[in-house]
Amino acid sequence: MNKRSCDPHDMEVGRRIRVRRLARHMSQTDLANQLGLTFQQVQKYEKGMNRVGAGRLKRIAEILDAPITYFYSASDMPDSKTADILGFVDNARTLRLIRAYSHIEDPQLQQALLELTEQIAREIVPKQ
């Protein structure tokens, strides 16, 4: 029996589930409980290891308060820039940072924070 490799579309749907779940401040366990599943099953969905059936995806969309098209739109699948953007927002710290930054109303303060962050990133990235 061959193990099925992760399908890029399943991985994209899973990534979108994860991003939306994090945006709603929900743990994998919270989502799993509302779906009547284990958190391990939610992990498998989010990694694209298991395909999310249509009925289950509809229920996830309801729980996460998103249109079902958010998770699977033909024009927004892995080849698009959307997939690249979502790839950056796949952990809670990144989402918290973006959320906090977006609440800063002073453009000069935003610019200063951006420059500081870029400077820190340049200093910790090993020189090639």
**pLDDT at residue 76, as a whole number:** 46
Q: Residue 23: is it exposed, middle or buried by C-beta count within 10 angstroms (0-12/13-18/19+)? A: middle
**pLDDT at residue 122, as a whole number:** 83
* Calpha distance 93→97 (Å, rounded): 6
**pLDDT at residue 94, as a whole number:** 79
**pLDDT at residue 102, as a whole number:** 85
φ/ψ of residue 69, rounded to 5? -65, -20
For the chain, which residues score pLDDT lower than 70? 1-5, 73-91, 126-128
DSSP letter assigned to residue 115? H
**pLDDT at residue 77, as a whole number:** 47
**pLDDT at residue 63, as a whole number:** 97
Count of beta carbons in the 10 Å neighbourhood of residue 61: 18
Which domains, from first to last, does the chain contain? Answer: 1-90 (1.10.260.40), 91-128 (no CATH)
**pLDDT at residue 50, as a whole number:** 93
